[in-house]
């Protein structure tokens, strides 16, 4: 039973089973979740995202063992949490959500320093930390653009 729950969480309620670009699909799931979570006061939003991060650490670690593959493409909880970090304190609008999605995906692919190194960490930590790190960069960039505009 717990293996099913682990996989359900790690795959983002099954989004990770998408036959094409599962990480991108997982990030789209992050937009849906943000639509609900952005209504929370920001301290509760942060607590929720931190809880999801640690839940993701646990589930991704266990799912990696089930899939018997380092950072399996089926695991997308890292993309979901990454998007939630990227979108933190951005206004809910399609323009900002598209910008957050694109910037996060680009940073996730490029993995600017030092986050590519984080991928090499074992288990769930390596899976979750690199996406959380690039998401912080993406969030800071988007807020800089927002201030500039």
Q: What is the pTM of this model?
A: 0.93
**Please, what is the Cα angle at 73 between 70 and 78, to 5 degrees?**
85
Task: Give rounded-to-5 percent helix, strand, coil for the chain.
Answer: 75, 0, 25
CB 45 within 8 A of CB 87: no
CB 130 within 8 A of CB 119: yes
Give CA–CA dist 25/60, Å, rounded.
17
> What are the tens digits of pLDDT across the range 77-117?
999 999 999 999 999 899 999 999 999 999 999 998 888 88
CB atoms within 10 A of CB 118: 18
Q: Give the residue carrying structure tokens 């989004």.
A: 15
Q: Identify the pLDDT of residue 98.
A: 96
Residue 13: DSSP 8-state: T
> 66-75, 87-96, 108-117, 133-142: which has the minimum mean pLDDT?
66-75
């Amino acid at each position: 039973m717990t293996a099913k729950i682990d996989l359900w969480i790690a795959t983002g309620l099954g989004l990770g089973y998408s036959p094409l670009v599962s990480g991108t699909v997982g990030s789209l799931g992050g937009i849906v979740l943000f639509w609900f979570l952005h209504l929370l006061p920001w301290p509760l939003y942060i607590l929720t995202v931190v809880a999801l991060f640690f839940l993701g650490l646990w589930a991704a670690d266990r799912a990696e063992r089930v899939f018997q593959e380092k950072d399996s493409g089926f695991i997308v909880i890292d993309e979901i949490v990454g998007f939630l970090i990227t979108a933190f304190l951005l206004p809910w609008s399609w323009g900002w959500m598209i910008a957050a999605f694109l910037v996060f995906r680009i940073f996730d692919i490029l993995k600017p320093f030092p986050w590519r190194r984080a991928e090499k960490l074992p288990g769930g930590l390596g899976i979750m930390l690199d996406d959380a790190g690039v998401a912080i960069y993406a969030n800071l960039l988007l807020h800089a653009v927002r201030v500039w505009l």
